[in-house]
Amino acid sequence: MRWSLIGLVAAVLLFWWVTEPPSLNTAALPVHEPDLANGERVFHTGSCASCHGEDLAGGLQIHSDFGTFVVPNISPDAESGIGGWSELAFVNAMMLGVSPDGSHYYPAFPYPSYTRMQVQDVLDLHAYQDTFQPLASDQGPHQIGFPWNVRRGIGLWKIRYLDQGRVVVTSPGNTKAERGRYLVEGAGHCSECHTPRDRFGGLQKNLWLSGAPNPDGEGTIPNITPHKDGLASWSEADIAYYLESGFMPDFDTVGGSMVEVQENLARLPDADRKAIAAYLKSLPARP
**Looking at residue 237, which CATH number applies to its domain?**
1.10.760
Are 274 and 176 in contact by the 8 Å Cβ rule? The answer is yes
Shared-domain flag, residues 35 and 155: yes
Domain-located, residue 104? yes
Domain count, the chain: 2
Least confident piece of the model among 43-57, 83-97, 159-173, 207-221: 207-221
Residue 116 is predicted with a pLDDT of 98
Residue 16 is predicted with a pLDDT of 60
CA gap 48, 125 in Å, rounded: 10
Domain-located, residue 137? yes
Shared-domain flag, residues 195 and 266: yes
Shared-domain flag, residues 41 and 136: yes
Residue 9 is predicted with a pLDDT of 65
Q: Letter for the amino acid at 50?
A: S
Domain-located, residue 5? no
Residue 216 is predicted with a pLDDT of 66
Residue that is last in its domain, among 130, 161, 192: 161
In percent, the amount of the chain with pLDDT more than 70 equals: 94
Label residue 138 by pLDDT band (50, 70, 90): confident
Residue 12 is predicted with a pLDDT of 63
Shared-domain flag, residues 145 and 210: no
Is the per-residue pLDDT at 10 higher than 90?
Answer: no
What is the pLDDT of the chain when averaged over all its residues? Answer: 92
Shared-domain flag, residues 32 and 127: yes
Is the per-residue pLDDT at 152 higher than 80?
Answer: yes
Shared-domain flag, residues 208 and 131: no
Shared-domain flag, residues 156 and 199: no
DSSP H stretches of helix in 174-256: 175-182, 191-194, 236-245
Element (H, E) at 67: strand 67-70
Shared-domain flag, residues 197 and 257: yes
The residue ranking higher by pLDDT, 68 or 7, is: 68
Which residues form the domain of 61? 21-161
Residue 20 is predicted with a pLDDT of 87
Q: How many residues does the chain have?
A: 287
Domain-located, residue 55? yes
Residue 227 is predicted with a pLDDT of 97
Shared-domain flag, residues 275 and 225: yes
Domain-located, residue 170? no
Domain-located, residue 257? yes
Dihedral over alpha carbons 201, 41, 126, 20 (to 10 degrees):
20
Shared-domain flag, residues 134 and 200: no
Closest CA to 286 of 178, 205, 174, 186: 205
Shared-domain flag, residues 179 and 150: no
Domain-located, residue 9? no
Q: How far is CA 180 from the centre of its chain?
A: 15
Domain-located, residue 13? no
